[in-house]
Structure 1
Amino acid sequence: MTKSDNTIKLDQFLKFSGVVMTGGEAKLRIQDGEVLVNGTLETRRGRQLVSGDRVTVGGQTFEVNLKNS
């Protein structure tokens, strides 16, 4: 996973969270309108997420936490 200290791309976050297995699957789910960021439809896979953002896919919501894990 490639992330800076402050942001992570939406497609990378989906892979890191285990929502999808591949970048291609992330791209398709995002383009097909299956992903919400903070309650708003997001179709840009390169959308930069920050800690506290909430990503919803398939009825499941994940909170972005980029602090050291």
Structure 2
Amino acid sequence: MERIEIRDEAITLGQLLKLQGVAGTGADAKDMLAAEAVSVNDAVETRRGAKVRPGDVVDAAGEVFTVVAREA
């Protein structure tokens, strides 16, 4: 499973999708979420502003990755 590092204690789901390259723009992220193509910890998520934290597992249109804290 791929890992994606974040520097803060949380990141919005929309930002994470763009950071990971799954969504090219915020509009792309919004469309994916509206289509219920994203889940966080096995629960469908439709909110672009939902907070994702280290330890969370995200499945975005079949691309699965885990969120980890960036080490100092």
Q: TM-score per shorter chain, which class?
A: 0.7 to 0.9
- Cα distance, 1:35 vs structure 2: 0.3
Q: Could you tell me which runs of 5 or more consecutive residues in structure 2 were left unpaired when the two chains were aligned.
A: 1-5
| Percent identity for Structure 1 against Structure 2 | 39
Q: Quick one: which amino acid aligns to residue 68 of structure 2? A: N
Q: Say yes or no: does 1:11 pair with 2:5.
A: no
How far apart in 1 are the matches of 2:7 and 2:70?
11
What is the CA RMSD across the aligned residues, in angstroms? 1.7
What is the DSSP-based 3-state SS (H/G/I as helix, E as strand, rest coil) of the residue aligned with 1:64?
strand
Number of equivalences: 67
Runs of 4 or more above 6 Å deviation: none
Tell which has more relative contact order, 1 or 2 (C-alpha 8 A, sep 6+). 2
- Cα distance, 1:68 vs structure 2: 3.7
